[in-house]
Amino acid sequence: MRILVIGSGGREHALVWKINQSKLCDKIFCAPGNAGIAQIAECVDIKADDISCLLDFAKKERIDFTVVGPEVALSFGIVDEFRKSGFKIFGPDKKAAALEASKVFSKEIMAKYKVPTASFKIFDDPDEAKKYIEQMGAPCVVKSDGLAAGKGVIVAKSIDEAKKAVTSIMQEKVFGASGNKVVIEECLQGQEASILVITDSKEVVALASAQDHKRVFDNDQGPNTGGMGAYSPAPVVTRELFKEILEKVIYRTIDGLAREGIDYRGVLYAGIMLTKDGPKTLEFNVRFGDPETQAILPRLKSDLLEVMLATAEQKLGRIRNLEWDERASVCVVCAAGGYPGNYAKGKEIFGLDKASKMKDIVVFHAGTKSRVVNDVGQRQEIEYETSGGRVLGVTGLGKDIKEAIDKTYAAVKEISFEGMHYRNDIGGKALMTNCKAQNPG
Ligand code: AMP
Ligand code: GLY
C-alpha cells in the first residue's frame, strides 16, 4: 500500500517508523515530515493543514491510505474531504473532531452523558465569567473554547490570575475567535494519565497507558510545554482503574457521540486526573498524543497499519487484541534553548548516530532539518540541525521503568546541540508508585 502520513513532529516520526514495519506498507510519504522521517519516508513540502493540496497529492500519487497526525487538519475537516473523494483515511471527521476543537462542546457531551469531569460553567460574556470567578475563588481553571496550540488552558492560583486570563482570552483575543467563549472549571488534584484508544465507533481497542510531563523543568516546575517526556505503562493506572476509565469515560463518550449522530473513527485520547474521588476527564484529544506516542508505539507488537485500516473501514471487530512488549518505555524530549518561549533554530546536532545505534533505543526527530555537507561519489554525509522547540524524543525500552530510564538517559547524554535542555526526572513518578500497571487486553 501507498501511505501518506500528515504532520512533522515526533509523533509523526513514531507513526511513520511503526507503519514502515507493516507487511502491508510498500511506500510512505509524509507531509511535510522532518529530517528523521526523511530517513524512512519521502517527505513532501505540503503544510499539514493545506487540505486541498494534500488531496491533490493523494490523487496524483494514488495514495491508498492516509493517517493524520495533528488536530488542526482534523478540525478543518480533512477526513470529510478525503472520504468525499473516495480516499481511505484514519481520523475523526470534522464533527467528531470538535471534541478537541471546542472545549465547550466536549464539556457539554461529558455533562450530558455523565462522563466524570471537573465541574464547570460556560461563558460568552467576560464580565459574567469574572463575577463567577470571584464567587468560586481560586484555584480555578480557565479554558479558551477553541484550539490554541496547547496554550489555551490556564490553571490559575489566584482570582486575579484567573480574571487576567479571561481578559486576555475574551477581550484581548490572544487566541483569536477561539476565545469567544470560555470554560471556567474546578481545579482538580492528583496524578495525570493519558489513556488512548482506537475506535471505529462500535469497537474499541485500548493502547497501553502512558504519562506525559507537561512542565518544562524537573519536579513539574516552570511553564507548560507540548510535553517534555512520557513513559509507558503508567503504574498508577491499575487494572481496576483502567477498566473504570474505559467504562465511565471512553465508552460513555463514544456511545454518547453516536447518539448525537456522530460516528467517531480514529484515536481518542483522554487526559485523566486520578483524583481521590476517582478518575476525572481533563480533556479529550482526537489524535495520538505527543510525546506519548513515542513511548507507546515502541511497545506495540501488533501491526498498527492493519488496526488503523480496520478502523477506517469500520471493521475493528476483526482485531481482537493488541499485543504488547512487556518491557517499559521512557521517552525524553530534548528541547531547544528557550523553549517553550522563544528559541533559536539552526543549531547543529551532534551524537545522533551513536545514540541511535544503542541497544533498545530509538531516536525520534521532532524539530530537525538536514543538509548534505559532503556529496563525493557514493558517500553522502548528512548534518542535522534544530528547526523546532522540541527537537528530538529519545525512547528507550527496559525490563522495568528503572532500566528504561537508565538506558534512555545514557542515550540522551550522547546527544548535544547548543542550548539543549531536557528534564532529568522523566519516569520518576512511576518509581514512586507501588502499583503494577496492566497492559490493556
Ligand atoms: P490541555 O491543554 O487541555 O491538555 O490542558 C493542559 C493541562 O492543564 C492538563 O494536562 C492539566 O495539567 C491542566 N488542567 C486542565 N484542566 C484542569 C483541571 N480542571 N484541574 C487541574 N488541572 C487541569
Ligand atoms: N501530550 C499531550 C498532547 O499530545 O496534547
370 dihedral zone (left: phi>0; alpha: psi -120 to 50; beta): beta
Ligand closest to CA 153: 1
User: Cβ(207)–Cβ(300) under 8 Å?
Assistant: yes
- Measured from CB, residues less than 6 Å from any atom of ligand 1 are 118, 141, 150, 153, 155, 185-188, 192, 214, 271, 282-283
Residues whose CB falls within 8 Å of the CB of residue 150, separated by 6 or more in sequence, listed in order: 224, 226
**What is the maximum span of the chain, computed from C-alpha positions, in angstroms?**
73
Would you call the peptide bond into 92 cis, given omega within 30 degrees of 0 as the criterion?
no
**Does 303 have pLDDT greater than 80?**
yes
**Does 434 have pLDDT greater than 80?**
no
What's the mean pLDDT in 174-187? 94
Centre of ligand 1 to C-alpha 185, Å, is 10
Q: Name the helix (H) or strand (E) containing 31.
A: strand 27-32
Q: Measured on CA atoms in the order 157, 158, 159, 163, is the torsion positive or negative? A: negative
> Closest by alpha carbon to 230, among 291, 188, 169?
291
Centre of ligand 1 to C-alpha 179, Å, is 17
Centre of ligand 2 to C-alpha 191, Å, is 15
Report the atom number in ligand 2 closest to the C-alpha of 227: 1
User: Cβ(361)–Cβ(408) under 8 Å?
Assistant: yes
**Does 351 have pLDDT greater than 50?**
yes
3-state SS assignment for residue 254: helix
pLDDT in tens, 203-249: 999 999 999 999 999 999 998 899 999 999 999 999 999 999 999 99
Ligand closest to CA 292: 2
Nearest CA to ligand 1 atom 6: 153
Task: Report residue 326 as a C-alpha cell.
Answer: 512487556
Q: What is the pLDDT of residue 440?
A: 56
Ligand closest to CA 196: 2
Give the separation between CA 246 and CA 161, rounded to whole angstroms.
35
Q: What is the pLDDT of residue 373?
A: 82
Report the atom number in ligand 2 closest to the C-alpha of 150: 5
Nearest CA to ligand 1 atom 3: 283
Q: What is the pLDDT of residue 438?
A: 52
Centre of ligand 1 to C-alpha 62, Å, is 41
pLDDT in tens, 103-150: 999 999 999 999 999 999 999 999 999 999 999 999 999 999 999 877
Q: Which residue has the cell 497492559?
A: 439
> Quick check: CB of 229 below 6 Å from ligand 2?
no
Nearest CA to ligand 2 atom 4: 289
DSSP state letter for 225: -
Give the separation between CA 223 and CA 215, rounded to whole angstroms.
5
Pocket test of ligand 1: the residue of 145, 153, 284 to mutate, having most ligand atoms within 8 Å of its CB, is 153
Centre of ligand 2 to C-alpha 234, Å, is 15
CA 68 to chain CA mean position, Å: 12
Q: What is the pLDDT of residue 382?
A: 87
- CA of 377: how far to CAs of 374, 380, 383, in Å? 9, 8, 17
Pocket test of ligand 1: the residue of 191, 196, 273 to mutate, having most ligand atoms within 8 Å of its CB, is 273
> Quick check: CB of 396 below 6 Å from ligand 2?
no
Centre of ligand 2 to C-alpha 332, Å, is 14
Ligand closest to CA 71: 2
Mean pLDDT is lowest, of 205-209, 318-322, 385-389, 397-401, for 318-322
Q: Which residue has the cell 491510505?
A: 65
Q: Which amino acid is at 190?
A: G
What number of other Cβ atoms are within 10 A of residue 381's Cβ? Answer: 10
Ligand closest to CA 288: 2
Centre of ligand 1 to C-alpha 188, Å, is 8
Q: How many residues does the chain have?
A: 441
**Does 441 have pLDDT greater than 50?**
no
Strands across the sheet with 2-7, in order? 42-43, 27-32, 2-7, 65-68, 89-90
Helices 252-259, 103-112: inter-axial angle, 10-degree rounding: 100
> What is the pLDDT confidence band of residue 435, given thresholds at 50, 70 and 90?
low
Give the separation between CA 67 and CA 47, rounded to whole angstroms.
14
Q: Name the helix (H) or strand (E) containing 274.
A: strand 266-275
What number of other Cβ atoms are within 10 A of residue 311's Cβ? Answer: 23
**Does 437 have pLDDT greater than 70?**
no
What's the mean pLDDT in 50-71? 98
Mean pLDDT is lowest, of 333-337, 354-358, 433-437, for 433-437
What's the mean pLDDT in 287-296? 98
**Does 155 have pLDDT greater than 70?**
yes
User: Cβ(98)–Cβ(154) under 8 Å?
Assistant: no
Task: Report residue 151 as a C-alpha cell.
Answer: 496554550
Give the separation between CA 17 and CA 10, rounded to whole angstroms.
10
> Closest by alpha carbon to 194, among 116, 97, 288?
288
Report the atom number in ligand 2 closest to the C-alpha of 291: 1
Residues whose CB falls within 8 Å of the CB of residue 64, separated by 6 or more in sequence, listed in order: 1, 2, 3, 88
What's the mean pLDDT in 370-398? 88
Task: Report residue 128 as a C-alpha cell.
Answer: 459574567
Mean pLDDT is lowest, of 18-32, 76-90, 166-180, 401-415, for 166-180
Report the atom number in ligand 1 closest to the C-alpha of 118: 19
DSSP state letter for 318: G
Q: Read off the pTM.
A: 0.95
Q: What is the pLDDT of residue 292?
A: 98
Q: What is the pLDDT of residue 439?
A: 52
Centre of ligand 2 to C-alpha 351, Å, is 27
| Beta bridge partner(s), residue 335 | 390, 421
Q: Which residue has the cell 528547526?
A: 387
What's the mean pLDDT in 294-310? 98
Give the separation between CA 376 and CA 437, rounded to whole angstroms.
52
**Does 371 have pLDDT greater than 90?**
no
| Beta bridge partner(s), residue 407 | none
User: Cβ(206)–Cβ(270) under 8 Å?
Assistant: no
Percent of the chain at pLDDT exceeding 90: 91
Task: Report residue 175 as a C-alpha cell.
Answer: 487566541
Centre of ligand 1 to C-alpha 358, Å, is 35
**Does 58 have pLDDT greater than 50?**
yes
Centre of ligand 2 to C-alpha 349, Å, is 25
